Amino acid sequence: MDAIILQILNGLDKGSAYALIALGLTLIFGTLGVVNFAHGALFMIGAFCAVTLQRLMKISYVTIDESQKDFLGNPLEVKVPYLQSWFGESFGTALIDWSVPIAIVFSIPVMLAVGYTMERGLIKHFYKRPHADQILVTFGLAIVLQEIIKYFFGANPIQTPAPSAFLGSMDFGVLLGFDPNVIIYPVWRLVYFAFSAIIIAGVFAFLQFTTFGMVVRAGMADRETVGLLGINIDRRFTLMFGLAAAVAGMAGVMYTPILSPNYHMGMDFLVLSFVVVVVGGMGSLPGAVAAGFLLGILQSFASMNEVKAILPGIDQIIIYLVAIIILLTRPRGLMGRKGVMED
């Protein structure tokens, strides 16, 4: 039992990331009907927002402290971040320590801008083109974005630690009534799960309870009629693209402590997220979220040693295997709607 719960927990953080990316992908599918292969790159850009902010916060000036000596006997150079001198020692340090969560605030406008530019500058011209063209042009865009990031940040993964308050692990089993030291789980992964749950709930609430969301849902169901009613649906869909980009970006920001960001992390996640979307059902938001968590958890179960002993290599292919089975038995995916991307 405890092993099962541990595996479910292990699957949650990956599942959350899949769910968030797949949610954005589905938003774009559902609204604009565009297959966006650059969505993984948006996730990556989000992660690098966190890196950028951390670097900005750590910009320091150098003072020479005559009273201390380094190992060569020269006066020690002390680097003091500007933030510390502006906001005082304790608050400044805390700010730097919390750079990852703060980066969320920083990333939202950045990602909205990136998403808006992408949609207006490129994707707009591809609504009427075949899906193959959309896939190819966004695939090219993903490569370009990746290379730009590589130029500025290098090819190596960059460590971005979580705030020290969230470092380490907690004994999660005790909360559920198990013996101590049975289910130990890193705190940040729980934070990530809670965060993604909030974001997902937020997106759904936005679509469900606001007038804007209502119009968008109506547009997803029947774009033409909404247009005929005199609503500028294109503008709203552009904003939804920005929102999807922001969701992917925030997913990336929060993922940095779990996986040190490098320039190709987006591509690694993209293929899997696509599979997630297809399993969940194209154009179905709940389907994307459910499939994201489902596949994340299945993957963590498949990497248990007991399972691997029976079916070697299953952890590598489980997601694809599930996708193949689902597509062949339930062609529209788990919660796919009729008439969406049927061709």
Partner 1 sequence: MFGLDKKDTRLLIIVAILTFCAPIILNPFPADSALAQFNAGYPDLMQRFVIFGIFAIGFNILFGLTGYLSFGHAAFLGVGSYSAVWMFKLLSYNVVPAIILSVITAGLFAIVIGFVSLRRSGIYFSILTLAFAQMSYNLAYSVLTPITNGETGLQVYSNDPQYLKGNGPDVTHLFGLEMRSILEIKIAGWTFDFTIGYYMCAVIMLISFYLAIRIFRSPFGLMLRAIKANQTRLNYTGISPRPYMLAAFVISGMYAGLAGGLLASMDPLAGAERMQWTASGEVVLMTILGGVGTLLGPVLGAGFIKYAENIFSKINENVLHSWFSFLPDGLEEAVVWLFARFVGEGWHLTLGLMFMLIVIFLPGGLVEGGQRIARAFGRKDKDASSSTPAE
> Which one of residues 74, 90, 128, 235 is an interface residue with partner 1 (CB under 8 A)?
128
Q: Is 232 left (phi over 0), alpha (psi -120 to 50) or beta?
A: beta
Query: How far, in Å, CA of 144 to CA of 152, rounded?
Result: 13
Give 126 or 192: the residue with its C-beta nearer to partner 1. 126
CB 329 within 8 A of CB 275: no
Query: How far, in Å, CA of 41 to CA of 263, rounded?
Result: 9
The contact pattern for partner 1, residues 16-55, with x = CB under 8 A and - = no contact, is -------------------x--------------------
Which DSSP state fits 343? -
Which residue type is seen at 194? A
Give 58 or 150: the residue with its C-beta nearer to partner 1. 150
> Which one of residues 132, 175, 309, 310 is an interface residue with partner 1 (CB under 8 A)?
132
Question: Does residue 328 belong to the site contacting partner 1 (CB under 8 A)?
Answer: yes
Cα of 244 vs its chain's centroid, Å: 10
Backbone φ and ψ of 68, nearest 5°: -110, 155
The contact pattern for partner 1, residues 233-272, with x = CB under 8 A and - = no contact, is ----------------------------------x---x-
Q: Greatest CA separation found in the chain?
A: 79
> Which one of residues 82, 98, 139, 178 is an interface residue with partner 1 (CB under 8 A)?
139
Question: 65 pairs with which residues across the strands?
Answer: 76
Binding footprint of partner 1, residue count (CB under 8 A): 42
- Binding-site ranges for partner 1 (CB under 8 A): 35, 122, 125, 128-133, 135-137, 139-144, 146-148, 151, 267, 271, 274-275, 278, 282, 312-313, 316-317, 320-321, 323-324, 327-328, 331, 341-343
